[in-house]
Structure formats: structure tokens, C-alpha cells
Amino acid sequence: MPRRVMELGKVLPAAIMAVLIVYCMKDVGNDFTGDGIFKCIAILVVAGSYKWKHNTFLSIILGTLCYMVFVN
């Protein structure tokens, strides 16, 4: 495989998660206690599970499930 593709494979998962975090937090605004706490906990779950298993898909699924449990 080309060297450039290998470099992208190392950087892309973290970049995708950073974009998803920014997209998630864009609606928090000034009222952080309402929805912001739940989103921050979900972000911590994503970061922790990625650090633990190094699986992007699993981390996104766990963070989404965590947030859905808090919302409902």
C-alpha cells in the first residue's frame, strides 16, 4: 500500500471522532446543564472505549447508546 494511504489510516479515525464531537456539541449553547452534561458523558464514553479497544465503530455505537439512555 502507498505510504500516504497508511498515514491516512492512522490519522483518519481520530479526525472522524473530532468532527463528530464538534457536531455533537454545536447545539449546547449557554444551557450546559440541560443537554450538555449528557453529551459530555457520552463523549467520555466514546473516548474511553476508543482508548480501551481502539475500535472506532464500537466507540461511536457505545457513545450513541449512552446518550440515548440519558435522553430517554
Domain residue ranges of the chain, discontinuous segments joined by +: 3-71
Measured between its terminal Cα atoms, the distance across the chain in Å is 45
C-alpha cell at 5: 494511504
pLDDT, position 66: 94
Q: What pLDDT digit, counting tens, does each position of 4-62 carry?
A: 999 998 898 888 878 888 888 887 877 778 788 888 899 899 889 989 998 888 988 99
Please tell me the predicted confidence (pLDDT) of residue 62: 94
What is the Cα–Cα distance from 66 to 42, expressed in whole angstroms?
6
pLDDT for res 61 = 94
**For residue 3, pLDDT beyond 90:** yes
pTM: 0.71
